[in-house]
Each structure stands twice: as C-alpha cells, then as structure tokens.
Amino acid sequence: MEDNMELHRLLNRQIQKHLAVPEETMKHLHGLLHAISQSYVQFDNDRVFLEHAMMQSSNELLSKKQVITNLLETQTKAIESLRASIAGLIPDSHLNANDDIMAIATLLQNEVEGRKNAELQTEQINKRISYLLNSLRLGMVEYDLTGKIERAHDKFYEIFEWPSESLTGECISSLVSGNGEENYLNKFLGSFASSDGIVLELPLATYNRKVFWALCSIAPVYDPKGLRKGSVMVVFDINAQKNLEAELRNERVKALEALEIRKSIMANVSHELRTPLNAIVGMSSLLKETPLNPEQSEYVDTLNNSSNGLLTLINDILDISKIESGALVMEKTTFSLHQSIHTLRKTLNVKAQEKGIKLRLITDSDLHGYHIGDPTRLNQVVTNLVGNAIKFTSKGSVDIIVELVEDLKTDQVIRISIRDTGIGIPEQSMKSIFQKFSQADLSTTRQFGGTGLGLNIASEIVQLMGSEIKLSSQLGSGSTFSFTITLPKADAPEQDVPQVPQNKSLEGYRILLVDDNNVNLFLAQIILKKWQAQVTTATNGEEALKAMHNSKFDLVLMDLQMPILDGFEATRIVREELKDLTPIIAFTANALNSEKDMCLSIGMNDYLTKPIQPDQLFLAILRILQNNEQLKTA
C-alpha cells in the first residue's frame, strides 16, 4: 500500500507540474488513480499467475511429449521386430519401410492361414501314408545320423511286436539280426553313408528276438538347409517268400538230382540198346556186301530196314529226353541250305519211289549261298516232315518248297513247306498230332505204323529255332506243314565238307581198338581191316594203357563204359600222367551232349556214336590222321 501511495505522490507531482491542476482537484483524482493502480496491480498479479500457469503447462506438455516419444520408439521397435519375424516366416515377402501395421497384420494373417492350410494338407497326407502303410502291411521308421529312432509308425510296432511308443530312442541297428554267413549288420550300416536310396533284404529281429526276413527300402532325410539329418526306412515282411524260395531251392536240388539220375538211366538205356543194335546194323551192312542170292538179299534188306527203324526210334526217345531236360542245344555252323536239302531229297527219294510217288524239290533262286545255323537239326525236322508226308501219301506227290520271304542286310527269312497229296488230317486232330505219342486216330497207327514222336520232336526243334510249325489240311486232299526261320548269311567256308573217297584206305596206320563187347570188337575190326589198317584190340582201359606203353599207335578208338578202367579215366591218364598226345576218338553207344562235352574236355579229339556208320567213321579217322600229319611236318 505504501508503495502504491508513493507511486500516487509521484504521479500527483507530474500532473500538477505539467497540467497545473489545483490541489483540490487532485484530491478528487486520488480515487481514480487508486483504481488505476489497483488495476495495474491486478494486471501484474494476473500476468504472474499466467506466466506460472504457462510454465506448468509447458512442463506438462514436455512430459507428455517425452511419453509419446518413448511410446513411438517402443512401437517402432515392435514393428521392426514384427517385420523381422515376418521375413523369417515369409522369406519371399518384401515389406517397405512405409508399410503400416495394418498391412503387416494382413500379411501375417495370410501367412498364418497358409500355414494352417499346409498343416491340414500335411495331416491329410500323413493319413494317406498311414492308410497305405497299413493296407500294404508296411512298417516305417525314422532315425537320426547315429541310428537313434525318432519316430516309428504303428504298423512298424506291429511287425516287430514291440510295445507301442517304446522304440523311440532305441538304436535301429539293434533290430538287424546277424545270422547267416553274410554280415548283414555291416551291410545295413553301410546304408548310413549312402546319399542315394538303397534297397536291402535283411534278417530282422522282433522284440522277442524272433528272426524274420524283410525287404528294407532306405532313403536319406535332409533339413531345409540341405544337410542330411537322418534316414527313413520302410520295411516289408518277406519271410513267407524267403521260406518259399528255400523250399524251391530244395525242390530244385531234388529235381537236378532226379535229372542226373534220368540222364544216367537214359545213358544206360542208350548204351544197352545201341550195343546189340550196332552188331545188327553192322553185320547186316557187311552181309549185304557179300555175294547173296535174291532171297537172301531180300532178307538182308528187311533186316536193314527194321534195324534202321529201331535206331530212329531210339534216337527219337533220346531227343525227347534232351528237349525235356533242356540239354538240346542248337549249333551254329556254316552250311549250304540248298545243298543240304538237295542231299536230303536224294536220300528220301528212295522211299518215295518205293511207293510210286514223286518227291519234288522247289527252291528259290535268290537264296544266299551259305548260312549259319544247325544243319543237322534242320535236316531232322525236314526228314520227319517229309517222311511223314511220304508215309501218309499213297498216290500223287510230296513237294519240298524252300522260298525266300525277306532278304535283309545280314539275314534271310526263309519259309520251308512240305506239301503232300495224302490222306489229310481231320480238323479236330490238327492240334493233338504235335503231342508226344499222338496220331490222328488209332486206325492210322494200325495202317501206317509209327510212334507219333516225329512231329512232336520236329515241333520242339522248330520252337528252339524261334519259330513254329503251321499246318493246313483238308481231309482226303492232303496237308501242308510249314515253318519260317531266320538264318544269318555267311561267306563260303575255306573248304567244303570232305567227301568219302571211292577207295577207302588206311594202309600203314596202326589203330588201337578198345571195347568190352566182343561183337563190337569183331565188327569194328572187320571194317578197319577192310581199309587195310593194322588193328590191335583191348577190352578195357587198363589193357589199352599197357598196349600204348608197349607200342606206338597212330589213333585210338576208345569205348567209354568198360569194366576195371573206363574210357574217361584211361584218357585222363594218357593225357595227364603219360603226356601222350596220340589222337583218341570216343566210340560209344551213348548219345548225350553232356557226355560229348566231357570227352572233349578231358582231351579226346572227337566223339562218334554207335551203331557204326562206316563212312562217318572213315571221315573222322581220315580228318584226324591228316591233321596229325600236318602237325608233324609243321
């Protein structure tokens, strides 16, 4: 108040000094001045209060601003963290710095939904896999790089008879049995290092160590970075199959043993039949070369025909045995098809002339000069078919037709047909006639004879050639048998098959004849001496070795089945112990390829079968002797 009054006095003086206002008047102005002074005071007070209020508001505003700033920083960090998380979840996403939280949230929602769909699809796939594994009885197990089982399918527990969920943590190798000669455990452990899938047959062990066989398919498993993290194995129980295989192996062994027994029986039968037949054929041939009256000559012809028929039957039975046992092998040699068929026609024409029918040969001029094949078996087929045609044809003709079907660069496709004008074959019998011991009907057998083996053998041989015999026939008008074969072309051989000379001579050659049958010795001795050979005989392998020790021979004819010492062992001693290279020809009543192979493998030079075919025997002896002479002079 005092300050205000002092202010008023100063103001009064200034007013009186400049305005010359009387003091009386100044008294009336004191109230106004006091009011003005109070207004200034109030104004100052309000200004101070306002400044104070503004100061407080500014402090509060700064505080709120700091809070908001801190909140923004927290939100920014949260958004950046969210972006980083989304980038990890969605590697292919590209979020700009300006993308707002709404876009991020939408993207995240889409990703979550995508992952849910993927999880649903994965669940469906797992259900399908589970269904397949159960349906196919397959067990599946997953294990890490150390072999520790991480997860096993329900069927896996069932197959291995383990309590449910108890395999986790077990070592997979403990389920592999080490039985047998092979180390299957090492074989299985080797799959750990394989980067590819592998399939193994393994003996596995159940919970109770019962061993069973399983087919195991093992594949590597990789993590998202491409690093291998373990393997998955699918197991299929093949125990029944393995047991069946074992049974089949046992049965195969028994079958092979039975086959060997059968071969042995057939060899013995062949030997026992051919030995007396050799004497009959040989003696009748020798007898025919002696002076005979017409009646005697007729008897000898009958004897020859009967013995040749019996020999054909024996050969047929042996061929069937070879075919059934798989021992009939087709040879591959260079031959002239035209010459072979032409020679065959000349031989069979004798039978055709006897029946008063024509046997004609029609060949294609475009046939290549030489082919590669088995002329012996081809001749056998044609002989059987032509012989059949002649047998069932009473008048008319039988035609052998050889025609070129297709001329290729290295091969020729050739059709051989045998057409007759015989009795024909009923339609209902066309299939059965190719079966063993089968003919059109019983009356055919009674009227024309035969065993019904020829067509079966011919059919089997043609099948081995990769073809089949086709038949067309009309009852009462004749039949046509045909087959098509493919033969490789060949160049002409350096020298043709040697021809039998008119004057056979082995003069100056010493031959050792070894056989335990006196009739065979007598017959072979007569034939060899007719050719002026010097012949020494022995009745077994032991006598043969003594004779070879005491004398030098140019050739040995060695029987195989003999007492004391057989031909196989005698030859082995000659080659391995005595180191003697004297040519040896196996001369046996057996006719099995396995025996021929055995003879050649132990050092024999050739293999001939009885009955004796003089021309064949002479050519074999001549070929070996000439070759031996060339070796001596070389």
**CATH label of the domain that carries residue 609:** 3.40.50.2300
**540-563 pLDDT per residue, tens:** 999 999 999 999 999 999 998 888
CA distances from 427 to 185, 351, 420, 479, 481 (A): 64, 28, 17, 11, 14
Residue 482 and residue 532 share a domain: no
Residue 229 and residue 167 share a domain: yes
Assigned domain for 45 exists: yes
Assigned domain for 289 exists: no
Instruction: Using alpha carbons only, give the angle 614, 619, 625 rounded to the nearest 5 degrees.
Output: 125
Helices marked H in 136-171: 154-160
User: For position 26, what pLDDT does the model report?
Assistant: 59
User: For position 248, what pLDDT does the model report?
Assistant: 87
Q: Is the pLDDT of residue 444 over 50?
A: no
In the three-class reduction of DSSP (H, G, I as helix; E, B as strand; rest coil), residue 334 is classed as strand
Average pLDDT over residues 227-249: 86
Q: Is the pLDDT of residue 125 over 60?
A: no
**84-106 pLDDT per residue, tens:** 665 665 555 555 545 555 565 56
Q: Please compute Rg for the chain using Cα positions.
A: 56
Residue 423 and residue 486 share a domain: yes
Residue 522 and residue 394 share a domain: no
Assigned domain for 580 exists: yes
CA distances from 19 to 9, 10, 11, 22, 33 (A): 15, 14, 11, 9, 15
- Cβ count near 461 (within 10 Å): 22
User: For position 633, what pLDDT does the model report?
Assistant: 47
Eight-state DSSP code of residue 501: P
Assigned domain for 386 exists: yes
Contact criterion met (CB below 8 Å) for 172 and 205? no
Query: What SS3 string covers 28-93?
Result: HHHHHHHHHHHHHHHHHHHHHHHHHHHHHHHHHHHHHHHHHHHHHHHHHHHHHHHHHHHHHHCCCC
Residue 515 and residue 463 share a domain: no
**300-315 pLDDT per residue, tens:** 877 777 777 677 767 7
Query: What SS3 string covers 193-252?
Result: HCCCCEEEEEEEECCCCCEEEEEEEEEEEECCCCCEEEEEEEEEECHHHHHHHHHHHHHH
Contact criterion met (CB below 8 Å) for 480 and 417? yes
Domains contained in the chain, number:
4
Among 214, 237, 260, the domain boundary falls at 237
Among 212, 237, 262, the domain boundary falls at 237
Among 201, 220, 237, the domain boundary falls at 237
Tokens 């024909």, residue located: 424
**CATH label of the domain that carries residue 482:** 3.30.565.10
Residue 350 and residue 474 share a domain: yes
Residue 533 and residue 621 share a domain: yes
In the three-class reduction of DSSP (H, G, I as helix; E, B as strand; rest coil), residue 367 is classed as coil
- Please return the burial class of 395, using the count of CB atoms within 10 Å of its CB with bins 0-12, 13-18 and 19+: exposed
Residue 536 and residue 388 share a domain: no
Least confident of 2-16, 209-223, 270-284, 450-464: 2-16
- Please tell me the distance from the alpha carbon of residue 183 to that of residue 177, in angstroms, as a whole number: 9
Assigned domain for 152 exists: yes
% of residues, the chain, pLDDT over 90: 21
Assigned domain for 368 exists: yes
Residue 465 and residue 409 share a domain: yes
Assigned domain for 563 exists: yes
Assigned domain for 430 exists: yes
**41-75 pLDDT per residue, tens:** 676 776 666 666 666 666 776 776 777 777 777 76
Show the domain range for 472.
329-490
Residue 481 and residue 528 share a domain: no
Residue 514 and residue 486 share a domain: no
User: For position 535, what pLDDT does the model report?
Assistant: 94
Residue 451 and residue 529 share a domain: no
